[in-house]
A and B are shown apart, each in its own frame.
Chain A
Amino acid sequence: MLVLAVGLSLAVGTRPVPLAEVVHALTRPDPSSIAEAAVRSRIPTTIAGLLVGAALGMGGALMQGMARNPLADPGLLGVNSGASLFVVLGMAFFGLSAPLQFVWLALAGAAIAMLLGYGAATASPSGATPITLALAGASVTAIASSIISGILIVNTTTLNSFRYWQLGSLTAASPAALVQLSGFLAVGAVIALVAMPWLNALALGDDAARSLGVRVGMTRALSTLATVLLCGTAAALVGPIAFVGLAVPHAVRVLAGTDYRWIVPLSALGGAAFLLVCDVVGRLLTRPSTLEVGIVTAVAGAPVFIALLRWRRTVGV
Chain B
Amino acid sequence: MTAVREALGADLRTVRVRRRRRDAVVLSVLALAVGCLGALALMFGARFTPPADVLDVLLGRPVPGASFAVGELRLPRTIGAILAGAAFGLGGTIFQTVLRNVLASPDVIGINSGASAAAIIALGVFGASGPVVAGSAIAGALLTAALVWFLAYQGGLSGIRFALVGIAVGAALQAIIGFVLTRSNVTQAQQAVVWMTGSLSRSLWDQLQPLAPVLAVLLLVALIAGRDLPVLRLGDDVAASLGVRVRRLKLVLILCAVVLVATATAVTGPIAFVAFLSGPIAMRITRHGQAVPAVAALIGAVIVLGADLIGQQLLSTAMPVGVVTGVLGAPYLLWLLMTGRTRA
- CB pair A149 B193 closer than 8 Å: yes
Size bin of chain B's contact surface: 35 or more
- CB pair A160 B342 closer than 8 Å: no
The one of A71, A153, A303 that contacts B193, using a Cβ cutoff of 8 Å: A153
Given contacts A140-B330, A142-B273, A153-B194, are A298 and B161 in contact (CB under 8 A)? no
Is B333 in contact with chain A by the CB < 8 A criterion?
yes
Alpha-carbon distance A88/B96, docked complex (angstroms)? 33
- CB pair B329 A142 closer than 8 Å: yes
Query: Which B184-210 residues sit within 8 Å CB-CB of chain A?
Result: 186, 189-190, 193-194, 196-197
Please choose the segment from B128-136, B172-180, B216-224 that sits at the chain A interface, where 4 or more of its residues have CB less than 8 A away. Answer: B172-180
- CB pair A147 B340 closer than 8 Å: no
- CB pair B182 A70 closer than 8 Å: no
Tally the A-B contacts, defined by beta carbons under 8 Å.
158
Alpha-carbon distance A150/B310, docked complex (angstroms)? 14
Is A166 in contact with chain B by the CB < 8 A criterion?
yes
Residue picked from A132, A146, A152, most chain B C-beta under 10 Å: A146
Alpha-carbon distance A255/B25, docked complex (angstroms)? 57
- CB pair A150 B319 closer than 8 Å: yes
- CB pair B323 A146 closer than 8 Å: yes
Given contacts A121-B337, A299-B175, are A139 and B331 in contact (CB under 8 A)? yes
> Which residue of chain A lies nearest to B168 when distances are taken between CB atoms in the complex?
A302
Query: How many residues of A are counted as interface, with CB atoms below 8 angstroms from the partner's CB atoms?
Result: 53
Given contacts A71-B160, A135-B333, A136-B334, are A159 and B175 in contact (CB under 8 A)? no
Is B118 in contact with chain A by the CB < 8 A criterion?
no
Query: Which B152-178 residues sit within 8 Å CB-CB of chain A?
Result: 152, 154, 158, 160-161, 163-165, 167-169, 171-172, 174-176, 178
The one of B152, B171, B322, B338 that contacts A149, using a Cβ cutoff of 8 Å: B322
- CB pair A166 B178 closer than 8 Å: yes
Contacts of A126 in B (CB 8 A): 340
Query: Which B81-119 residues sit within 8 Å CB-CB of chain A?
Result: 102-103, 108
Smallest CB–CB gap between A79 and chain B, Å? Answer: 14
Smallest CB–CB gap between A116 and chain B, Å? Answer: 8
Is A131 in contact with chain B by the CB < 8 A criterion?
yes
Is B29 in contact with chain A by the CB < 8 A criterion?
no
Is B317 in contact with chain A by the CB < 8 A criterion?
yes
Contacts of B194 in A (CB 8 A): 153
Alpha-carbon distance A136/B320, docked complex (angstroms)? 24
Alpha-carbon distance A134/B323, docked complex (angstroms)? 21
Residue picked from B152, B327, B337, most chain A C-beta under 10 Å: B337
Contacts of B172 in A (CB 8 A): 298-299, 301-303
Contacts of B193 in A (CB 8 A): 149, 152-153, 159
- CB pair B323 A142 closer than 8 Å: no
Q: Is the interface of B mostly helix, strand, loop or mixed?
A: helix
> Which residue of chain A lies nearest to B148 when distances are taken between CB atoms in the complex?
A306
Alpha-carbon distance A295/B178, docked complex (angstroms)? 8
Alpha-carbon distance A103/B190, docked complex (angstroms)? 25
Contacts of A310 in B (CB 8 A): 151, 154
- CB pair A163 B189 closer than 8 Å: yes
- CB pair A153 B329 closer than 8 Å: no
Given contacts A124-B337, A153-B193, are A295 and B171 in contact (CB under 8 A)? no
Query: Which A135-158 residues sit within 8 Å CB-CB of chain B?
Result: 135-136, 138-140, 142-143, 145-147, 149-150, 152-154, 156
Q: Is the interface of A mostly helix, strand, loop or mixed?
A: helix
Contacts of A292 in B (CB 8 A): 179, 182
Is A44 in contact with chain B by the CB < 8 A criterion?
no
Query: Which A212-253 residues sit within 8 Å CB-CB of chain B?
Result: 242-243, 246-247
Given contacts A152-B190, A242-B171, are A71 and B181 in contact (CB under 8 A)? no
Contacts of B330 in A (CB 8 A): 138-140, 142-143, 146
- CB pair B176 A299 closer than 8 Å: yes
- CB pair B102 A149 closer than 8 Å: no
- CB pair B326 A143 closer than 8 Å: yes
Alpha-carbon distance A136/B163, docked complex (angstroms)? 17
- CB pair B171 A154 closer than 8 Å: no
- CB pair A156 B190 closer than 8 Å: yes
Contacts of B344 in A (CB 8 A): 131-132, 135
- CB pair B160 A70 closer than 8 Å: yes
Smallest CB–CB gap between A142 and chain B, Å? Answer: 4
Is A43 in contact with chain B by the CB < 8 A criterion?
no
Smallest CB–CB gap between B318 and chain A, Å? Answer: 9
Query: Which A115-132 residues sit within 8 Å CB-CB of chain B?
Result: 120-121, 123-126, 131-132
The one of A164, A303, A305 that contacts B182, using a Cβ cutoff of 8 Å: A164
- CB pair B178 A163 closer than 8 Å: yes
Alpha-carbon distance A139/B272, docked complex (angstroms)? 10
> Which residue of chain B lies nearest to A164 when distances are taken between CB atoms in the complex?
B182
Is A167 in contact with chain B by the CB < 8 A criterion?
yes
- Name 13 extra pairs, CB < 8 A, besides A71-B164, A246-B171: A125-B339, A136-B334, A139-B331, A140-B330, A146-B197, A152-B193, A153-B190, A159-B193, A166-B178, A291-B179, A295-B178, A299-B176, A301-B168
**Can you pick out 17 interface pairs between chain A and chain B where the beta carbons lie within 8 Å of each other?**
A120-B334, A120-B338, A131-B344, A138-B108, A146-B323, A146-B327, A149-B197, A159-B189, A163-B181, A291-B179, A298-B174, A301-B168, A302-B168, A302-B172, A306-B165, A309-B161, A310-B151
